[in-house]
């Protein structure tokens, strides 16, 4: 996984926790029992996803720039 190849100070622990939580939600939605999610829970997950993307997008761009040289 690319996250493990990055310097530890590049991505905060909080950002990794968000990623882990969202990944668990995805797994439960795909493979778990039929669980209903209400609008408030969906909004929280969406807000977390936006925060994660906002945090890692600049890093993704930097990595691609560095790879291209």
pLDDT in tens, 1-25: 444 455 545 788 888 899 999 999 8
**Cβ-contact 18, 52 below 8 angstroms:** yes
* Residue-level pLDDT at 8: 47
Displacement of CA 35 from its chain's centroid (Å): 21
Mean pLDDT confidence for 28-57: 89
Residue 34: the pLDDT is: 72
Confidence bin at 60 (pLDDT 50/70/90) = confident
- Greater confidence, 58 or 36? 58
The total of other beta-carbon atoms located within 10 Å of residue 56's CB is 19
């Amino acid at each position: 996984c690319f996250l493990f190849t990055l310097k530890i100070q590049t991505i905060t622990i909080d950002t990794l926790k968000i990623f882990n939580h969202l990944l668990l939600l995805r797994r439960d939605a795909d493979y778990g029992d039929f669980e209903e999610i209400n609008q408030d829970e969906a909004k929280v997950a969406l807000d977390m996803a936006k925060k994660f993307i906002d945090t890692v997008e600049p890093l993704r761009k930097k990595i691609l720039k560095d790879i291209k040289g």
